[in-house]
Chain A
Amino acid sequence: MSSESILSLRVNGQPFRRLVPAERSLLDFLREDLGLTGSKHGCDVGDCGACTVLVEGQPRLACITLAVEMEGASITTIEGIGGPEGPHPVQKHFDQQVASQCGYCTPGIVLVLVALLRDDPQPSESRIREVLGSNICRCTGYTKILAAARAAVGAA
Chain B
Amino acid sequence: MSGRWHAGEEAVVVGHSGPKIDGMARITGQALFVDDLRLPRMVHAKFLRSPFPHAWIRSIDLSAALALPGVVGSMVGEEIPRKYGAIPVCQDETALAIGKVRYVGEPVVCIAAEDEETALRACRLVRVEYEPLPTILSIDEALDPARPAIHHDSRKPSNVLRRVSQDYGDVEKGFAEADLIVEESYDYPGSTHVPLESHGALAVWEADGRLKLWTSTQNPHYVHRDIARVLGLEAAQVRLIKPAVGAGYGGKCDPFCTELCASYLAKKLGRPVKIILDREEVFYAHRGRHPVRMWLKMGFRNDGSITAIDFKAQADGGAYSSYGVVTSYYLGVFMTLPYRLQNYRFESQRLYTNKPPCGPKRGHGAIQPRFALELHLEKAAQLLKIPADELRLRNIVAPDTETCNGLKVGSVGMEECIRAVVKSSGYAEKKGKLGPGRGIGIAASAYMCGALHPTYQNELFHSGVMIKVDRSGDVCLFSGTADIGQGSIHMLATLCAERLGLRPEQVRVVEGDTSLTPVDLGSYSSRVTFMAGNACVEAADKVRARLFAAAAKKLKVEDAALQAAEGFIFVKSEPTQKISFVDAVWLAEEAGPLVEAGGYTPPKIGNRFRRQSVGPSPAYSFTAQVAEVEVDEETGIIRVERIWVAHDCGRALNRTIVEGQLEGCVYMGVGEALYEEQAYRKGGILRAPSILEYKIPTLHETPEIHSIIVESHEEGGPFGAKEAGEGPQLSTVPAIAAALQDATGIWLRDPPFTPEKILKALERHRAPLS
Contacts and interface: CB of A to CB of B under 8 A. Distances in A.
Please say whether chains A and B are actual partners in one complex.
yes
Interface of A: 31, 37-45, 47-48, 50, 77-79, 82-84, 87, 91, 94-98, 100-107, 110, 129, 132-133, 135-146
Given A44-B278, A45-B692, A103-B246, A98 B29 contact: no
Contacts of B247: 101-102, 104, 138-139
A47 B692 contact: yes
A141 B28 contact: no
A101 B30 contact: no
B18 A96 contact: yes
Given A43-B691, A98-B657, A102-B484, A141 B702 contact: yes
A83 B26 CA distance: 11
A77 B28 CA distance: 10
Nearest to B667: A141
A101 B489 CA distance: 11
Contacts of A41: 35, 198, 276
A27 to B, nearest CB: 11
A141 B663 contact: yes
Nearest to B698: A133
B454 interface: no
Nearest to A145: B699
B19 interface: yes
B196 interface: yes
20 contacts: A37-B29, A40-B33, A42-B197, A47-B690, A91-B27, A94-B23, A98-B487, A103-B485, A104-B195, A104-B247, A107-B29, A138-B195, A139-B247, A141-B663, A142-B667, A142-B699, A143-B660, A144-B656, A144-B663, A146-B699
Interface string B645-680: 000000000001101100111111000000000000
B194 interface: yes
Given A82-B28, A87-B24, A140 B36 contact: no
A142 B691 contact: no
**Residue in A47, A87, A100 with the greatest tally of chain B CB atoms within 10 Å:** A100
A139 B246 CA distance: 9
A87 B24 CA distance: 9
Given A39-B29, A103-B244, A104-B33, A98 B18 contact: yes
Contacts of A144: 656, 659-660, 663
Contacts of B707: 143
A138 B249 contact: yes
Contacts, number: 165
A45 B694 CA distance: 14
Given A84-B28, A101-B660, A104-B196, 5 more contacts: A40-B35, A45-B691, A48-B691, A102-B197, A145-B699
A111 to B, nearest CB: 10
A78 B25 CA distance: 11
B373 interface: no
B611 to A, nearest CB: 36
Given A105-B196, A143-B663, A110 B27 contact: yes
B486 interface: yes
Given A41-B276, A104-B33, A94 B27 contact: yes
Nearest to B194: A138
Interface of B: 18-20, 23-33, 35-36, 193-198, 244-247, 249, 276, 278-279, 484-487, 656-657, 659-660, 663-668, 690-692, 696, 698-700, 702, 705, 707
Nearest to B694: A47
Contacts of A48: 196, 691
A65 B244 CA distance: 26
A138 B696 contact: yes
B29 A102 contact: no
A146 to B, nearest CB: 7
**Residue in B28, B279, B692 with the greatest tally of chain A CB atoms within 10 Å:** B28
A42 B279 contact: yes
B28 A40 contact: no
A56 B24 CA distance: 25
Nearest to B279: A43
Given A78-B29, A106-B26, A133-B700, A140 B20 contact: no
Contacts of B29: 37-39, 77-79, 106-107
Contact of B31 (A87, A94, A103, A138): A103
B705 A143 contact: yes
A98 B17 CA distance: 9
A133 to B, nearest CB: 5
Contacts of B691: 42-43, 45, 47-48, 136
B30 A38 contact: yes
Given A38-B29, A141-B664, A142-B702, A98 B656 contact: yes
Contacts of B664: 101, 139-141
B196 A141 contact: no
A103 B660 CA distance: 13
**Residue in A77, A133, A139, A145 with the greatest tally of chain B CB atoms within 10 Å:** A139
Contact of B279 (A45, A91, A143, A145): A45
Nearest to A146: B699
A101 B665 CA distance: 13
Contact of A40 (B197, B485, B666): B197
Contacts of A38: 28-30
Contacts of B660: 98, 101, 139-140, 143-144
Closest 5 CB pairs of A and B: A38-B29, A103-B26, A102-B485, A141-B667, A104-B246
B486 A101 contact: yes
A102 B705 contact: no
A102 B698 contact: no
Contact of B667 (A39, A98, A140): A140
A70 to B, nearest CB: 19
B485 A101 contact: yes
Given A102-B197, A106-B26, A141 B666 contact: yes
Contact of A140 (B245, B663, B698): B663
A57 B27 CA distance: 19
A40 B31 CA distance: 11
A82 to B, nearest CB: 7
Contacts of B485: 101-103, 139
B191 to A, nearest CB: 12
A34 to B, nearest CB: 13
